[in-house]
Amino acid sequence: MAVEEYNAMQEEDEQLEPRPDEVLFSRAGFTKEGKLDSMGLVNFLVTLDELLDNEEETVGIWFDISEVLENKETALKDINTLADYIVAKNKKT
């Protein structure tokens, strides 16, 4: 759902594929290139944060953009990794 919301605001060449293994951003030392530049990544995370805050079933789920960005090497490999990171953080709280 966050991917669809994000894509609705982006040009066609800046859209994410709604796949769990979609690489979010390019990282040094990795051969797969991500779709998002730094601003696109922040925009995607803000979109996700707003969805989590606005959907009744997700209100109260931990999501801290600053912390996710601080841990980008482990949290933002791809969409699935981000989802796993969010789930793990919410199990700890």
The total number of structural domains in the chain stands at 1
Taking the whole predicted model, whether its pTM rises above 0.95 is answered as no
Provide the residue range defining the domain that includes 85: 2-14+21-92
In b/e form, how buried is each residue of 64-79, taking b as 16+ CB within 10 angstroms?
A: eeeebeeeeeebbbbb
Give the whole-angstrom CA distance, residue 82 versus residue 87. Answer: 9
Residue pair 78/43 in contact (Cβ under 8 Å)? The answer is no
Residue holding tokens 């791809």? 78
Mean pLDDT of all residues in 74-81: 90
pLDDT at 31 over 60: no
